[in-house]
């Protein structure tokens, strides 16, 4: 089955056809590094990792770009409040540059713990100020900007289709606005460049044609994605909370400069919920990956939990669900470790697995195929080879896991005891026959001075 993906722009599932055959450009909105990422954020990155793996499965060479927002993200999406980096700096008692580095390292640690594939490129907003200024200057030349006392703003009234990605109700937004616009002309207008407050020195500020200040949050992604992937690339991803503001504004800027909506597909992961509410750092009710590992949970158990729900469905988080995911992963690891290598994957199961993940990344149904294999009567070496064929998509590091302690099934113990009796009777042919039976079931015997030792095959 050919790969089909849900596109938020068209609100349809449609075939993925790479703009350049054999290659796929993928841009994923990365973290704002003013604090630790919470596990709700990390769910989105697991979804994007699966997407990349499925693109590779389908023969595409993926250029994967992830940004690091280390300036410009204000506390409010309505361009109110202060920069989150400056606020985080005060809270942490360190410079904005120091906390950016601290939380970037913490994010990378979570990234690797979840076995997310390394992007082709990480790009920091503060390393691309010149590109953002050039972008704003061209928007100004094209007549899409205006100045206020606090910055340079994008005039959304210049675009009849502004907010189409989110299907925004412009009339409703204007009628229902709850805050004063100040000098903004329209409620949907957004900052491209913010001026540093008078008589205040910010830690992160730069000179520009409009005055000393810093870029808005949205311009960084438009500028960096266009630099590294072009103004029209395959897929742009993020969380569902990006649809109405951040991604709508990225599209508006890119249309105004290049005449494109930036990406052919816009894809969004849905929220992780906790006690029926979206997890949010601002509300304080968030969990870090480290919070889970301190409970003795393997980070890959959280990855497995994320895989168990479709990326476009809400995932309710509780510790019971996480414990169930850990138990399932443990069962899978033990089964896999008990099977010998050297088999050939079952083509029918592989085709079924691939068909499921190609159906808009339906990993929950692909996991059902995986468990069919585990419980099947296929030769154990075939089971292992078949699961190996699934692993590039699942990313559970099954081959790297080692069984420190294991339970020996009763029937295996019985066979080992019968073999010991055969050896004692010097019935070497029978002993060899029983050894081979044990081997086909995934167990090996080593004979030593202390008798025979039974363990799963390596």
- Give the pLDDT confidence score for residue 414 in this predicted structure: 84
- Give the pLDDT confidence score for residue 409 in this predicted structure: 77
- Give the pLDDT confidence score for residue 82 in this predicted structure: 74
Torsion sign across C-alpha atoms 86, 87, 93, 94: negative
Structure-derived torsion over alpha carbons of residues 443, 446, 447, 448, reported in degrees to the nearest 10: -140
Contact in structure between 288 and 39 (CB atoms under 8 Å): yes
Global pTM value: 0.86
- Give the pLDDT confidence score for residue 213 in this predicted structure: 93
- Give the pLDDT confidence score for residue 175 in this predicted structure: 45
Helix (H, G, I), strand (E, B) or coil at 34: coil
Under-50 pLDDT residues of the chain:
175-176, 178
Q: How far is CA 249 from CA 120, 180, 201, 211, 309, in A?
A: 25, 20, 28, 22, 29
- Give the pLDDT confidence score for residue 178 in this predicted structure: 47
Residue 8 DSSP label: T
Torsion sign across C-alpha atoms 313, 319, 323, 326: positive
- Give the pLDDT confidence score for residue 431 in this predicted structure: 87
- Give the pLDDT confidence score for residue 194 in this predicted structure: 93
CA distance 4 to 46: 19
- Give the pLDDT confidence score for residue 198 in this predicted structure: 84
């Amino acid at each position: 089955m050919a790969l089909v993906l849900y596109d938020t722009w068209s609100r349809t599932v449609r075939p993925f056809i790479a703009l350049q055959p054999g290659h796929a450009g993928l841009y994923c909105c990365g973290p704002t590094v003013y604090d630790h990422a919470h596990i709700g954020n990390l769910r989105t990155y697991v979804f994007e990792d699966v997407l990349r793996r499925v693109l590779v499965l389908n023969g595409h060479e993926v250029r994967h770009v992830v940004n690091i927002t280390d300036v410009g993200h204000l506390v409010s999406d309505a361009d109110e409040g202060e920069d989150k980096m400056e606020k985080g700096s005060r809270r942490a008692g360190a410079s904005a540059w120091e906390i950016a580095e601290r939380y970037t390292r913490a994010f990378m640690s979570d990234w690797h713990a979840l076995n997310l594939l390394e992007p082709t490129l990480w790009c920091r907003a503060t390393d691309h100020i010149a590109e953002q200024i050039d972008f704003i200057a061209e928007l100004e030349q094209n007549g899409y900007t205006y100045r206020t006392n606090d910055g340079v703003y994008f005039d959304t009234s210049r675009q009849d289709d502004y907010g189409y990605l989110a299907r925004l109700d412009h009339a409703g937004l204007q009628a229902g606005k709850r805050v004063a616009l100040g000098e903004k002309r329209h409620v949907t207008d957004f900052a491209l460049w913010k001026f540093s407050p008078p008589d205040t020195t910010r830690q992160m500020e730069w000179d520009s044609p409009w005055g000393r200040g810093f870029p808005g949050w949205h311009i960084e992604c438009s500028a960096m994605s266009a630099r590294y992937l072009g103004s029209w690339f395959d897929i742009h991803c993020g969380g569902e909370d990006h649809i109405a503001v951040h991604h709508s504004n990225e599209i508006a800027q890119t249309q105004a400069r290049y005449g494109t909506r930036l990406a052919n597909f816009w894809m969004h992961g849905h929220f992780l919920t906790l006690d029926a509410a979206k997890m949010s750092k601002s509300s304080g009710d968030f969990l870090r990956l480290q919070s889970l590992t301190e409970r003795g949970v393997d980070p890959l158990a959280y990855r497995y939990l994320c895989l168990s729900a479709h990326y476009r469905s809400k995932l309710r988080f509780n510790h019971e669900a996480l414990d169930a995911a850990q138990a399932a992963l443990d069962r899978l690891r033990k089964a896999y470790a008990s099977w010998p290598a050297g088999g050939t994957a079952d083509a029918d199961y592989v085709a079924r697995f691939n068909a499921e993940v190609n159906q808009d990344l339906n990993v929950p149904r692909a996991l059902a195929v995986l468990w069919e294999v585990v419980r099947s009567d296929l030769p154990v070496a075939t089971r292992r080879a078949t699961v190996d064929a699934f692993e590039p998509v699942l990313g559970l590091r099954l081959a790297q896991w080692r069984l420190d302690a294991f339970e020996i099934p009763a029937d295996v113990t019985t066979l080992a005891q019968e073999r010991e009796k055969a050896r004692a009777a010097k019935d070497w042919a029978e002993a060899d026959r029983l050894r081979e039976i044990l081997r086909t079931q995934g167990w090996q015997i080593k004979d030593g001075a202390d008798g025979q030792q039974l363990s799963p095959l390596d």
